[in-house]
Structure 1
Amino acid sequence: MATGAHGRVMEAGLVLASQNIEAAVVHTTDPQRWQLVVKPKDLLVARAQLLQYTRENRHRRWRQSFAGRRFEFDWQSLVWVFLMAGCYFFQAHGSLAIQSLGDFYSPAVRSGEWWRAVTAEFLHVDLRHLASNATTGLLFFGVAMAEYGAGTALLAATLCGALANFAAMWFRSMPYHGLGASGMVMAALGLLAVRSFRLQDWRARPALTISRGFLAGVFLFILHGFNPSSDVLVHTLGFGLGAAAGVLLSPIAENPGRQARWDALGKWLFVGVVAVAWGCALWPAAQRGLER
């Protein structure tokens, strides 16, 4: 019923075996291709099971497994990098002063411009600032997307970064400006830091699992988040909120079927949140243009 490379046909056979459907992997006339043979009475059920498996694992086509390691990398994180680069291009070369319209200016946020907590995540001071966040974000988002699903990880990190911007404001009395994606990047690292709690080793050797997993995430956070020239408070809050979100999202991370169902929803919600935030930020400039 299914033909292809040996590895893919074997994978299909394992799916059917998990459902107690007998299947045999045999050669085709082409020595490079194999086929899966099932009993006629099981054909319809087998096709339905393989279709469901394919549907639930479509998002994995972007993923790359690392030999000898229990994690994957999702190359959809490149989309996030291109998005950040595109925003910086318009920030540097666009006709609108989007930095002043979208950065996290605390007096403006206190007066009701909540969207700045989101829009500030897509702005950067200079190319060096962008490159720093893009390189670390590519790595952290790549693993977080493979762990939770691309849409879920992207939405969670964005919201945690925005909440970190809000929370940091309440620790500061003086007016200040803030911008950059580092809060959401640290939130992505926080999502990864609690990954070890879901491994089987956690139940057998909890102390060792924490030392290898969560503390490794903490050390990475110290390495990347404690730059004296950066906003350490936002980084710390983003990391903590990301870790909390990772615990709450454990049911999704543990179930590939749930990942597939939440992935598209997370992506659409991310697009909606970003579109609404930037719409609110750019609307005053659009109004002024219409009045001229």
Structure 2
Amino acid sequence: MDRLQQDFFFWRLVHFYIFEKGFRVLDKNSKEFWLEDEDSKPKRILRIVRVDIDFASWLRRDVTNSVKQFERVRRHLRLRKMIGENIYISLYPPVDDWEDVKKPYFESRKKRTTVYSSIIDKINTDQTELPDVPHLETVEEVEITILHLQQQIRQATKEREHKEKSLFFQGRPLATVALLGSIAFMFYLLEQEGSSTSVLTLIAYGAKYNPLILEGEWWRLFSAMFLHIGFLHLFMNSLALFYLGSAVERMYGTGRFLFIYFIAGLTGSIASFAFNEQVAAGASGAIFGCFGALLYFGTIYRKLFFRTMGKSLLTILAINLVFGFAVPMVDNGAHIGGLVGGFLASAIVHLPKHKKSFRQILFFVVTSFSLVGLFWFGMNNEEKASSPILELQIGQEYLQKEDIESAYPFLKRAVEEGAEMPEAYFLLAYVEAMFENYEVAKDLLLVTIEKREEFHEAHYNLSLIYIELGEIEEARAALNRAVEIYPDDTYLDLLDRLSVAPS
């Protein structure tokens, strides 16, 4: 009967911590329970063991082994520090001295995991947090009560596990697959029509291009989400969308996911329009919106969030943001805009199976004003309206297509807007020469050489301009400098011809 009473106390104690203290079951068997106090700081983990201890040597070995187990739990839960407690339910304490076991055990010198141990027996009940234990007279009463406690614990554990799992599986990722297919199809079209890395092709198919948005083509803020610049960009974004989009769609459901995705993408595009003058394309803003949706989930289910994906998600997000700030080519404005937009959109639709609240209306108002305000700022932010680098890039692509007429205004604007790159002056000089504006071309080439004296192509073209102007000596001097820098056969052949030409 005494052993049965200790069994009863073991199950009553486990029941007490689960139902009255709110502990979560980490692991269990018929003689041992691992329980987590989710609210404690540092985290507190209990190991409640039903065992009859004869000698202190066994107890010391078990405590020593448990320290390693507690440390594995700490690492699995990704905790900086943790308090572990062994609670042994034994009929009697060890027959020999075990006072040394009561001292705290540490996993290492860093003391990240600290383990305390205690024994509860029918004689020693000087413990804190002990539940009231009713006195039962008969064996049948004790056995029935134990079965009842076991059933309640199993039921509560299953219900909690089912509830937590159901939060991650509210829908199927059908929209995610459709979006991936749309993105892949648009990439195929870009490659067929020119190249996904061609600025002209991207603009033609709806990339974010500020001058045209300023002229009223606001639809580019949406269409840019489906375009990608190069295969690596497509692959990385598709991979991120597959994992993040699937997770968000399963948690929020398809309708909510699509709302979050497009609001985040729109916010990212508007932020890019407001702060970045370059041509932009990609689903990055919408993908960062998925980060925002997961962060919103974390504000609603904070404990579950940090127990599952929280720390990994925050680490990945931090790495992406730092990378965005460190690499000039990355449109971090779109990323941050998408992140904020995704969080706000998630707050508007909220999670499934939650009652509607006034807070959702408030978030809708905040989001609407934020989008309008950001777009207004973009319309009035003259610093991002144009970029000499972008003008030069577009002009170069038109020249590659031998469309000199179209290339001219872009190259001219690149120079007028203060482009520091000698290539801008060099290409504009080439176009001016094609228009037979030789004096203008000569001045531009002199500026090119001033900016980069080793630019041998500029010296060669300058010699051609001098020939057109009838200044043969100057042409020989320019050509000699080109040959000195780079003895190309074309340069040498022209130099030979000039050597016999009259001055």
- For normalisation by structure 2, the TM-score amounts to 0.33
Distance, in Å, in 2 between the alignment partners of 1:255 and 1:70 is: 10
Superposed, which structure 2 residues align to 1:21-32 within 5 Å? Answer: none
**Given the alignment, which residue of 234, 244, 254 partners 1:140?**
244
Distance, in Å, in 2 between the alignment partners of 1:145 and 1:91 is: 28
Deviation at 1:171, TM superposition (A): 2.9
Distance, in Å, in 1 between the alignment partners of 2:296 and 2:165 is: 20
**Given the alignment, which residue of 184, 192, 196 partners 1:93?**
192
Q: What letter is aligned with 1:78?
A: V
Unaligned runs of 5+ in 1: 1-64, 259-292
Q: 1:107 to 1:218 in 2, by over 3 A?
A: farther
Q: 1:243 to 1:214 in 2, by over 3 A?
A: farther
Q: Residues 187 and 243 of structure 1 are in contact (CA less than 8 Å); yes or no, is this contact kept in structure 2?
A: yes
Q: 1:216 to 1:248 in 2, by over 3 A?
A: farther
Superposed, which structure 2 residues align to 1:153-164 within 5 Å? Answer: 153-164=257-268
Deviation at 1:214, TM superposition (A): 6.0
**Given the alignment, which residue of 215, 221, 231 partners 1:117?**
221
Which residue number in structure 2 is paired with residue 185 of structure 1? 287
Deviation at 1:245, TM superposition (A): 1.4
Q: Residues 196 and 213 of structure 1 are in contact (CA less than 8 Å); yes or no, is this contact kept in structure 2?
A: no
Q: What letter is aligned with 1:195?
A: F
Distance, in Å, in 1 between the alignment partners of 2:182 and 2:355 is: 28
Superposed, which structure 2 residues align to 1:263-278 within 5 Å? Answer: none
**Given the alignment, which residue of 74, 81, 92 partners 2:180?**
81
Q: 1:84 to 1:239 in 2, by over 3 A?
A: same
The structure with the greater share of residues assigned to helix is: 1
Distance, in Å, in 1 between the alignment partners of 2:185 and 2:300 is: 36
In the alignment, does 2:297 pair up with 1:195?
Answer: yes
Deviation at 1:81, TM superposition (A): 1.3
Deviation at 1:79, TM superposition (A): 2.1
Which residue number in structure 2 is paired with residue 106 of structure 1? 210
Matched residue of 2:275: which SS?
Answer: coil
Deviation at 1:234, TM superposition (A): 0.7
Deviation at 1:256, TM superposition (A): 8.4
Q: Residues 140 and 185 of structure 1 are in contact (CA less than 8 Å); yes or no, is this contact kept in structure 2?
A: yes
Q: What letter is aligned with 1:165?
A: S
Matched residue of 2:242: which SS?
Answer: helix
Distance, in Å, in 1 between the alignment partners of 2:317 and 2:178 is: 23
Number of equivalenced pairs: 183
Superposed, which structure 2 residues align to 1:139-288 within 5 Å? Answer: 139-172=243-276, 175-199=277-301, 202=302, 216-225=312-321, 226-227=323-324, 228=327, 229-250=329-350, 253-255=351-353
Distance, in Å, in 2 between the alignment partners of 1:242 and 1:235 is: 10
Deviation at 1:246, TM superposition (A): 1.4
Matched residue of 1:125: which SS?
Answer: coil
Distance, in Å, in 1 between the alignment partners of 2:190 and 2:181 is: 14
Deviation at 1:154, TM superposition (A): 2.0
Q: Residues 164 and 237 of structure 1 are in contact (CA less than 8 Å); yes or no, is this contact kept in structure 2?
A: yes
- For normalisation by structure 1, the TM-score amounts to 0.55
Q: Residues 194 and 214 of structure 1 are in contact (CA less than 8 Å); yes or no, is this contact kept in structure 2?
A: no
Distance, in Å, in 2 between the alignment partners of 1:139 and 1:213 is: 13
Q: What letter is aligned with 2:249?
A: M
Deviation at 1:198, TM superposition (A): 2.5
Identity within the alignment, % = 20
Distance, in Å, in 2 between the alignment partners of 1:169 and 1:210 is: 35
Matched residue of 1:196: which SS?
Answer: helix
- Structure having the higher Rg: 2
Distance, in Å, in 2 between the alignment partners of 1:171 and 1:214 is: 30
Distance, in Å, in 2 between the alignment partners of 1:212 and 1:103 is: 37
Q: Deviations over 1:152-183 (max 9, x none)?
A: 212321222122211332234xx421111111
Q: Residues 121 and 180 of structure 1 are in contact (CA less than 8 Å); yes or no, is this contact kept in structure 2?
A: yes
Distance, in Å, in 2 between the alignment partners of 1:241 and 1:136 is: 17
Q: 1:68 to 1:126 in 2, by over 3 A?
A: same
Distance, in Å, in 2 between the alignment partners of 1:246 and 1:169 is: 23
Matched residue of 1:74: which SS?
Answer: coil
Q: What letter is aligned with 1:143?
A: A
Q: Residues 87 and 122 of structure 1 are in contact (CA less than 8 Å); yes or no, is this contact kept in structure 2?
A: yes
Unaligned runs of 5+ in 2: 1-161, 357-503
Deviation at 1:217, TM superposition (A): 3.8
Deviation at 1:117, TM superposition (A): 0.7
Deviation at 1:222, TM superposition (A): 2.3
Q: Residues 198 and 254 of structure 1 are in contact (CA less than 8 Å); yes or no, is this contact kept in structure 2?
A: no
Q: Residues 208 and 273 of structure 2 are in contact (CA less than 8 Å); yes or no, is this contact kept in structure 1?
A: no
